[in-house]
A and B are shown apart, each in its own frame.
Chain A
Amino acid sequence: MDTPEREKRSIPSIDPAAAGGEGITRRAFIHRSLVAGAALGAASQALFPLISTLDVAYGAQEFRFAWISDTHLYPKTLNTRFVEKAERAVNDVKAMKPAPDFLIFGGDLAQLGDPVELQLGADILKNLSLKKYFIPGEHDWYLDMGATWEKLFGKQPWSFDHKGVRFIGLDTVSRGPDYWSAKKMTPAERMGHMATLDGSVAGPWAGVGADQLQWLAKTLSNWPKDKPVILFSHNPLYEYYPPWNFWVRDWRDVQEVLRPYTKVTNIHGHTHQVLYNEIGTMRSIGMLATSWNWPYPPQGVPALTVPMVRVDPGDHFDGVGWGKLTMTAKERVDYQYMMWRKDVFSQTQVDSGTGDNMNQILSPRFADRP
């Protein structure tokens, strides 16, 4: 998009000082206190970013970690666009000062689960020498049912404690009900259906599963109820537009296990878009993909989500990026979308990824139905 058009799309900037301090830019908006939020709300329109502070009872030193997910790498012989963006995210994380304590890779490293793609991803991420944790996405799994993934990145779920926070990584992808055996699908066909977001064949594949729920309950059982828990999952842990499998089918059971814990933050990938929600005491943050942006579904975007801007389809660096998460000394986590182009949040209806669709009514596809 050339300059005059970009200007048409952008809105007069907000004075960072008035907005509650340093570090607030329109490109990478840091979520700050509710007090600052009120000031911002008054200074702008209702569509301006909702301020959402993630309070975490951690009183000592500040630390940061980085999130990269949804790189969806194809073999380099097909296309290098997604490779370039994955490399850019890695270089950005490398350049973080002070360095983050660790990186969480949130799944969908590969596009079609091809070992070549997964190995390419492993090689790109090798350039980061810091500690790395991995959770799988459905695109990493359904060609060889996780064989290559586990060989390269180990098993999930896992948990570790870091500076007063219990971190947990879930596997929300591997327990999809068998839709392939009866139809005698090849592994590539199975993967193809999984990779089609608006397809109907793979069914409600995302789930935590009874065994992993039990593991979660046990893992939390020796953790004080008022201490912070940060839960990583590929898919969001609430009901978000099931026709596109933007959810985890047994999310209610997950909430049941989490209910006693008062400071749970879920950070997830898979939705490739700015997303925020609160379910019970759990706060949920959806991170960007590095590869491409999913549009918002026609219904079900959480009311607490401040939508991101409409994306320029002519610029493949628009609407995508990675994430910085900071546990501050003031006992809260700030999260920052590191989007490579434009502003993150929409500030007018017409530029919003949801607000421009008031006339839209959609029907599910049918060509993949029997």
Chain B
Amino acid sequence: MKKGWIYAVIVCSVSLGIGLLGAGIGGAHKVKHTPEQLKAFEDVFMEQVKIGDLLFHGDAATEKKLGTKLSRTGMACAMCHPFAVDTHPYEFPKFQEQINKFSTLRDMINWCIEKPNEGEILGADSDAMKALEAYIYWSNRGSKLDPGRH
């Protein structure tokens, strides 16, 4: 039954897409992107990656700007995760034995802030969280998506 429901959603969206194309109605996603637009999208993303990189490396100025306290031990994320190694963003969501629950990447970012770093956890949708997530994904791009793997 669940499967059938997903199938229905797929059929719906596919036909919707074709419908829009066929009708030729002008819409945000219909118009071809200009190189300038694409560059602007990329810039927005890379700006977040950069902020995340700085937070991940314990940059005091960036922390101050965002009002975060990611560590009270003197240790930054990058001291245990150089190049964001071993953060495994491509494995989430998965069961995480440390917290004994089915977890997202954001859960584990907060877990590492709280436990090894003794810092202040971030709101799940906060700017700092999104930036950290951007940096971690960007550093691991090209890795094989493999959700659920321990």
Interface residues of A (CB under 8 A from B): 1, 5, 8, 74, 78-79, 81, 111, 196-199, 243-244, 292-295, 297-298, 312-314, 316, 350, 356-357, 359-368
- Bound: A361/B86 CA distance, A: 10
Q: Please, how many residues of chain B have a CB less than 8 angstroms from a CB on the other chain?
A: 36
Residues of B within 8 A of A364 (CB): 83
- Bound: A362/B108 CA distance, A: 19
CB distance from A117 to the nearest CB of B (A): 11
Residues of A within 8 A of B84 (CB): 362
CB<8 Å pairs between A and B, sample of 25: A1-B97, A1-B98, A5-B97, A8-B97, A79-B73, A81-B73, A197-B78, A244-B83, A295-B81, A298-B83, A298-B85, A314-B115, A350-B150, A360-B140, A361-B143, A362-B84, A362-B143, A363-B83, A363-B138, A363-B140, A365-B78, A365-B83, A365-B139, A367-B50, A367-B54
Residues of A within 8 A of B140 (CB): 360-363
A298-B85, A313-B115, A350-B150 in contact; A359/B143 too (CB < 8 A)?
A: yes
Residues of A within 8 A of B54 (CB): 367
Residues of B within 8 A of A81 (CB): 73
B10 at the interface (CB under 8 A from A): no
- Bound: A249/B109 CA distance, A: 35
B27 at the interface (CB under 8 A from A): no
Interface residues of B (CB under 8 A from A): 49-50, 53-54, 57, 72-75, 78-86, 88, 90-91, 97-98, 112, 115-116, 138-144, 146, 149-150
Q: How many A-B residue pairs have CB under 8 A?
A: 96
A314 and B73 contacting across the interface, CB-CB below 8 Å: no
- Bound: A331/B143 CA distance, A: 47
Q: Give the contacting residue for B57; candidates A293, A298, A365; CB below 8 A.
A: A365
Scoring B74, B90, B98, B149 by chain A CB atoms within 10 A of each residue's CB, the highest score goes to B74
- Bound: A74/B72 CA distance, A: 12
B82 and A197 contacting across the interface, CB-CB below 8 Å: yes
Q: Give the contacting residue for B143; candidates A314, A316, A360, A367; CB below 8 A.
A: A360
CB-based nearest B residue for A297: B85
Scoring A81, A196, A198 by chain B CB atoms within 10 A of each residue's CB, the highest score goes to A198
New A-B contacts (12) at CB < 8 Å, excluding given A295-B86, A365-B57: A5-B97, A196-B78, A292-B79, A292-B80, A313-B80, A313-B116, A314-B115, A362-B83, A362-B139, A363-B83, A365-B139, A367-B49
Residues of A within 8 A of B72 (CB): 79
B98 and A197 contacting across the interface, CB-CB below 8 Å: no
Scoring B79, B84, B146 by chain A CB atoms within 10 A of each residue's CB, the highest score goes to B79
CB-based nearest A residue for B145: A359
